[in-house]
Copies of this chain bind each other. A is one copy, B any other.
Amino acid sequence: MSRATVSRVVNERPSVQPEIAERVRAVIVELGYNPSRVAQSLSLGKTQTVGVVVPDLGNPTFQSILHGVNQAAATAGYRVLVADSEESADEERALVEDVRRRTDAVILCSPRMRPSDLDAVLPQIKPVVVVNRDQPAHATRVVVDYAGGISAMCRHLISLGHRRILHLDGPVGSNAQAARALGLATVAFEHPEVSIQRVPCGSTIDAGYAAYEAARGSGATAVIGFNDLVALGLLGHAREEGWRVPEDVSIAGFDDIPFARFATPALTTMRVAFESVGEAAWNALQSQLRGAVDADLRSFTPVVVDRDSTGPVRAG
């Protein structure tokens, strides 16, 4: 009953005589023996653990990605180590390196570090997949196509008969707003018969409320808020003024916050399946763990969640 034998029965190697295996098992439960995973990891050269580093664990987006990664990793017998850089671009690099030292691979979500740091660190820590960042074209990445998302929403509205669409812009200079402008421009180019306007607004419920005048005065039959709060603000003001939704105007948001489906009318919006993003990140990582070397890119397009706040344009 050497330790080699014990190791063999613990790992269920067939080459152990049944009766002695049985005896070993009995002693194991009797002593409450627990093999040390740390020692196993050192001996085997792998931890069966992956790291997930995010800029803000309090952000629902990253929570969902983490959830998706964890589910997929667990299925494959891996555990997840989390780390939160708390938006510190400076500490992020050291954090990632530390996480990588304890794990077999890492998923780096929305890294805040500079491109030069990212380029430098990526080779040090592979296998690695980068989530939600445009940067290193040669890295394995999974991204969200926000521009494609807003285009999809426009096309949905167009298919409903709308020809005058208004977008309530978000914070100027924000990444999200830039993607929005791009997606809108794409649709405008594809559909010269459709008028797509934009008006400055913001990202809060109050901004949406305040955009009522501009929206109603625009002549648009469909309004897309920068996000759900904006759309909800407009929705509230529209109700107060008797501007009926969706009879007189269709209103849509973006993000699918939990409350959106409880609004009256329930808010049409766009959702990104961040759990799926996490799952895709895991899959990409796993193919690297199995030896694939190609960089690849997986892109997720937000999908339209069609509820009651949008409808066919009314024959006017």
Contact = CB atoms under 8 A, between A and B. Distances in A.
A88 to B, nearest CB: 11
Interface of A is mostly: helix
Interface stretch (A8-16, A62-70, A110-118, A291-299): A62-70
Contacts of A86: 71
Contact of A57 (B47, B67, B124, B257): B67
A42 to B, nearest CB: 5
Contacts of A76: none
Interface in A6-38: 32, 34-38
Interface in A161-198: none
Contacts of A108: none
Given A38-B42, A229-B262, A99 B79 contact: yes
A38 B39 CA distance: 8
B34 A38 contact: no
A101 B257 contact: no
Contact of A79 (B36, B83, B124, B232): B83
B70 A82 contact: yes
A309 interface: no
Given A42-B42, A258-B259, A70 B57 contact: yes
Report the copy number of this chain in the oligomer. 2
Interface residues of A, number: 44
A133 interface: no
Contacts of A71: 57, 84, 86
Q: Which of A79, A205, A236 has the most CB of B within 10 A?
A: A79
Contact of A58 (B58, B67, B81): B67
A216 interface: no
Q: Which of A35, A70, A232 has the most CB of B within 10 A?
A: A70
9 closest A-B pairs (Cβ-Cβ)?
A: A259-B259, A37-B101, A63-B63, A57-B67, A37-B102, A205-B262, A38-B41, A38-B42, A58-B67
Given A37-B98, A57-B67, A60-B63, 14 more contacts: A32-B124, A34-B101, A36-B101, A37-B101, A39-B42, A42-B42, A47-B102, A49-B102, A58-B64, A60-B60, A70-B84, A74-B84, A236-B264, A258-B258
Interface of A: 32, 34-39, 41-42, 47, 49, 57-58, 60, 63-64, 66-67, 70-71, 74, 79-84, 86, 97-99, 101-102, 124, 205, 229, 232, 236, 257-259, 262, 264, 275
